[in-house]
Structure 1
Amino acid sequence: MVSKPHGGRLIRRIVAERTRERILSEQHEYPSVQIDHGRAIDIENIAHGVYSPLKGFLTSDDFQSVLDNMRLSNDLPWTIPIVLDIKEKTFDEGDAILLYHGNLPIARMHVEEIYTYDKKEFARKVFKTTDPNHPGIAKVYSLGDYLVGGEIELLNEVPNPFAQYTLRPIETRVLFKERGWKTIVAFQTRNVPHLGHEYVQKAALTFVDGLFINPVLGRKKKGDYRDEVIIKAYEVLFEHYYPKNAAVLATVRYEMRYAGPREAIHHAIMRKNFGATHFIVGRDHAGVGNYYGPYEAWELFDEFPDLGITPMFIREAFYCRKCGGMVNAKICPHSEEFHVRISGTKLRKMIMSGEKPPEYMMRPEVYEVIRSFDNPFVE
C-alpha cells in the first residue's frame, strides 16, 4: 500500500475561495510581516501536506523538542525546525497576521506564540557545527531574534515557473494508485543525472513497483545546476532509458538546508507524505563540504524505527574497467586500479571546459541537454 501520511493524515491548509476573498478585501486591517522566498515555499509545503503533520510554524515546545530529540513534542519523528523569524514584535500572541512576499499576501497566520531562541544552539544541534561558513548556519545567524509559532492558511503561492512539473502529495497518491503501485521508492536530487545516479535508481526499482524521482527546485548554492537544466536532463533520460510505466518525474519546491543526516530524515518524511514507501538515502545525503561523514545519514536512520518509510542504502556506484560496467564495492571484487569514480565535481569541471564526459559517466543525451544551455550553473 502507498504509505500513510506522516502523523496519519495529509494536512491541507488552503482557505476556501469565499474566505480568501473576504480576507484579501480586509487585508489592510491585519498586521503584516514580510517573508523571504524560502518561508513562502515552506508555507506552500505546509499547506499542501508535504510537511504533514505540521499545520504551521513550530511553537517553542515543538522547536525545542526538535532540537533536543529530533521529534515533535508528541514524539513523532521530525528533524528540521520549520520556523518563522521576525526582527521585532509588531503584533501580539492571539493576533491574526498576514504574511507577504513582496506585495503578494501568501498566508494568514494565527499567532499562538512569540518566543526567543539561541541561534548557536539551533546551529549546533541541527547542523552539528557553528561554523558560519556552512550555508545553513549562515542562514540561521541571519534570522531575526524572535520566532513566531502558529497555524497558517494559504492565500496565494509564489509564481511557479515549473508548475507543469509540480505534483502535490494528494496528486501523487492518486497517480501511484492508478498505476497499481503498492511499493514506491523515492529519489531526491538537486543534480543532473549521471550513470551513478541511474545505477542507484534502477537497483532500487528492481525491488519495488515504481520509482518516484523528485528533484528539488529552489534556492541552491553557487555551482549547483539550475532548475530547468535538471528537469530537461531527467526528461531526456526518461525518454530513452526508463520503462514508461515504472517511473514518475515530479518536482518539489524546497529550500535546501544542507543539514546532512538530519535533513536526510526530513527528506524521507516529505516523500512519505507524497506516498512513497521507500527512500533512497545517498552518499553524504544533503551534505555540503566536509561537515558530515559520507554514510553518517545511514546511521541516523537506525534511531527512527517508527519513521514509517523504509530507507534504501545503496552504495555509491563506480565504473569498473575489469567488470566492464557500473558496480559498487559490495559486488565488485577488483582492486582500486580498475575503478573510475563518478564525481559530480569532476563532471561539472569537464562540462565547464567543454569536454564531453565518457559514456560510462554520463549519457550523451544528458550531456547534450546540459550543453544546450548558455550557463547551466547557479552563479
Structure 2
Amino acid sequence: MSAATPGPIAPHGGTLVNRLDDGLTEGGRPRVTLSARQQADLDLIAVGAFSPLEGFMDQATYESVITGMRLPSGLAWSVPVTLAVQPDELDAIGDATEVDMVDESGRFLGVIEVTDRYETDQRREAGLVYGTEEEAHPGVASLYAHGTTCIAGPVRVAARLPLDPGAVPFLLDPAASRAEFDSRGWRTVVGFQTRNPIHRAHEYITKVALETVDGLFLHPLVGETKSDDIPADVRMRCYEVLIEGYYPKERVVLGVLPAAMRYAGPREAVLHAILRQNYGCTHFIVGRDHAGVGNYYGTYDAHRVFDDITREELAIQPVFFEHSFWCNLTGGMATTKTSPSSPEQRVFLSGTKVREMLDRGEIPPVEFTRPEVAKILIEAYSTA
C-alpha cells in the first residue's frame, strides 16, 4: 500500500505511504470511536502526510518520540501519534487483533490491526511534549480528554476526514501536490503554515522566501482548532483574494492541511516541517512563536528546536524569520534585521490582534492586512 512518488525531495523515510482501501467494509469487529483529532491523524496516515507511519504508534515508538524526538529508526519525529481508547470501549475490544474505527456518529472509517496495547502517563507526556501539565493549554486539555490506554498497529482506511465545504476545493494530498509541483517544473518549494487569516506579516515573509525558491505552497491548517480561531472557509477566501491581487499566481499553489492543531510550539514546528516534506516542499517557513499559544513558549523556541536535528534525520530545510512589523520609518514591512527604526515606529502584527479588532467591530488598517482581506473578515464577523 506504499509507493514511491516523484518530487524534488524524497518523502520522510524515503517512500510515500498510502493506507487507503476503498474496498474495505465494516465486518463484525469490535469498535473504537475516534475523536476529531484522532480522525485527522488517521487521514494524514492514510494519504502519506505522516510518512513513514503506517498506523498508530506502538509503545517503543511512543517512548522514543516523547523522550528523544526521534523514531526508533533515527528519523526526526516530535509529536506522538497514538490511538487512545476510552475506558468504556476497552472491554469490547478485548484481545481482538483487528478493530473497526468509527467516528462519533458511527460512520465506518477503517480497520486497525492491533499489534500492541500499552498504558500512558498523560502528565508525563504533557510535560515532555507540551512543556506544561496545565489543562489551560489547549493541547494538554485535548490530551487529558482522551484515554490512557493506547492500541497500536497499521491501519487501512476506507473513509476520509470530512472538511469544511470551503476547504474541500483546495484539498491536495501529498501525491497530488508533488505532481503539481512537478508539472510546474519546480525543484525548490517553500511551504507556509498558518491557522490564522493571512495578514501583511505573513505576506512579507512568504514573499521574501519566494525570492529564493521556484514556488510557494500556501498550506493553511483546516482541521480542529481552538473555538475562537476564525473558520476555515473565511480564511480560504482571504487567501484567494490575496493571491489574486498580490502574488504572481503562476508561482503559488494553495492547498489545505487537514490536521488538528496541537499548539505544541517548537515540537509542532518540527512536525509541520515533516508534513511539508511529505507534501513535496524542500523548504519550510518557521516564524515567531510557531504553533504557540499563550505564553507557554519563547518567541524563537521553534527556531532553536531545529539546532540538534541533522539533514539525515530531516531533509527539509527550515527557513527562519524574526518577528516582522510595519515600519513607519521606512514605509513598509521589515524586521529588526532590515529596519533601523525605534520600537515606537513599529506596528506589530498578529492574528490575535486582528481577531481582537474584529471583535470590537474595527476594520484592520492597511498596515495589518490588505483591504480585500479586511472586507472578508468584517463581513464574516458581522454575520457571525
Same fold (TM over 0.5): yes
Is 2:363–2:378's contact at 8 Å kept on the other side of the alignment? no
> TM (normalized to structure 1)?
0.95
Alignment of 1:329-348 (within 5 A): 329-348=336-355
User: Counterpart of 1:8 in structure 2: which amino acid?
Assistant: G
Is 1:268–1:279's contact at 8 Å kept on the other side of the alignment? yes
- 1:217 and 2:238 correspond: no
Q: Residues 113, 236 of structure 1: CA spacing in aligned structure 2 closer, same or farther, 3 A cutoff?
A: same
Aligned equivalent of 2:197, options 177, 192, 195:
192
Is 1:13–1:55's contact at 8 Å kept on the other side of the alignment? yes
Q: Whole-Å Cα distance in 2 between the matches of residues 231 and 237 of structure 1? A: 10
Give RMSD over aligned pairs.
1.4
Q: How many residue pairs get matched?
A: 370
- 1:288 and 2:280 correspond: no
Superposed CA offset, 1:105-164 (max 9, x none) = 101110001111111111010011111111111111222120111000001123332321
- Once the two structures are overlaid, the 10-residue window that deviates more, 93-102 or 1-10, is 93-102
Superposed CA offset, 1:296-324 (max 9, x none) = 01000111113100000022211111111
Superposed CA offset, 1:196-250 (max 9, x none) = 1100000000000000000101211132111111100000001100101111110
- Aligned residue for 1:180? 185
- Aligned residue for 2:13? 7
Q: Whole-Å Cα distance in 2 between the matches of residues 320 and 371 of structure 1? A: 25
- Aligned residue for 2:143? 140
- Aligned residue for 1:35? 34
Q: Whole-Å Cα distance in 2 between the matches of residues 220 and 375 of structure 1? A: 21
Q: Whole-Å Cα distance in 1 between the matches of residues 334 and 381 of structure 2? A: 33
User: Counterpart of 2:159 in structure 1: which amino acid?
Assistant: N
Q: Whole-Å Cα distance in 1 between the matches of residues 376 and 186 of structure 2? A: 30
Q: Could you list the runs of 5+ residues in structure 1 that have no partner in the other structure?
A: none
Alignment of 1:38-57 (within 5 A): 38-57=37-56
Q: Alpha-carbon deviation of 1:352? A: 2.2
- Aligned residue for 2:261? 256
Alignment of 1:1-379 (within 5 A): 2-17=8-23, 20=24, 23-24=25-26, 27=27, 29-88=28-87, 89=90, 90-92=92-94, 95-101=97-103, 102-160=105-163, 161=165, 162-306=167-311, 307-374=314-381
Partner of 2:219: helix, strand, or coil? strand
Partner of 2:152: helix, strand, or coil? strand
The structure 1 segments of at least 4 consecutive aligned residues displaced by more than 6 Å after TM superposition are none
Is 1:135–1:257's contact at 8 Å kept on the other side of the alignment? yes
Q: Whole-Å Cα distance in 1 between the matches of residues 168 and 85 of structure 2? A: 30
> TM (normalized to structure 2)?
0.93
Q: Whole-Å Cα distance in 2 between the matches of residues 35 and 222 of structure 1? A: 20
Identity across the alignment (%): 40
